[in-house]
Amino acid sequence: MSADQKLALTRRAFATGMTGSLAALGIGDVAAARSTQNDAADADLRDATLRGLARAGDLGDPVLASKADAVLARLESTDPEGAMLARVYRLFDVASAAYGYGSAERDQITSANLPALHTAIRDCRPVSFSYTDREGEVTSRTVQPLALVHPPQGIKLLAWCEKREDNRQFFVRAISDLTQQPRDFRNQRLALLQSLANSAAA
């Protein structure tokens, strides 16, 4: 069995097994989770689970937070990539971005870029796009997308930028002409997440 096949099995087991932990924590719909039948849905469930565990401490319940911490600690050995992704969410995913821009712009972003970015992150596919910075300068970027987070300023894409050869954050509302590339960076994903988390914690 290849390393990729083992990782896929680990992720499917995680997605199925974590539903019980979520039920104990009061997070998630177990019945809906157990009906998951395909890899894409498993990956989406895994991501939602990790986000919920990462944010459990924000609910004001120290017992719930302690349980979530214990689950995440176990992930260090069973799913190190998942544990690292949860760490990234804790560092960056700090508040809702719903008020960061007008509803018309939000609707346009949701329909145009967010679904494609979620898919690229899930499938470990690089994306290329035009990016407009605060000064209005437009640059072309190809990045390895790692996560979407929601700080007060607006939804951001966290990624490894091939142009800058470093971690970068991109406001989703400033991205245009988004296209997915055929390459796969699955084997580099854990190391990239580690680098991202370390840079944020420094």
Taking only the tens place, the pLDDT of each residue in 161-171 is 999 999 999 99
* Chain centre distance of CA 127: 15
Q: Is the pLDDT of residue 201 over 90?
A: no
Longest Cα–Cα distance of the chain, Å, equals 50
pLDDT mean over 72-76: 93
pLDDT band at 111 (very low <50, low <70, confident <90, very high): low
Task: Answer whether 70's CB lies under 8 Å from 18's CB.
Answer: no
Instruction: Report d(CA 163, CA 138) in Å as an integer.
Output: 13
> Above 70 in pLDDT, residue 115?
yes
Task: List the chain domain ranges.
Answer: 3-92, 103-201
Could you count the other beta carbons within 10 Å of the beta carbon of residue 21? 17
Inter-residue contact 165 to 56 (CB < 8 Å): no
Lowest average pLDDT, out of 69-73, 108-112, 141-145, 168-172, goes to 108-112
CA-based nearest residue to 198, from 105, 91, 102: 91
Q: Please, what is the Cα angle at 20 between 17 and 21, to 5 degrees?
A: 95
Q: With 70 as the cut, is the pLDDT of residue 5 above it?
A: no
Token pair recorded at residue 158? 């966290």
Burial string for 22-32 (b: 16+ CB within 10 Å, else e) reads: beebebbeeee
Q: Which residue has the tokens 């804790």?
A: 90
pLDDT of residue 108: 58
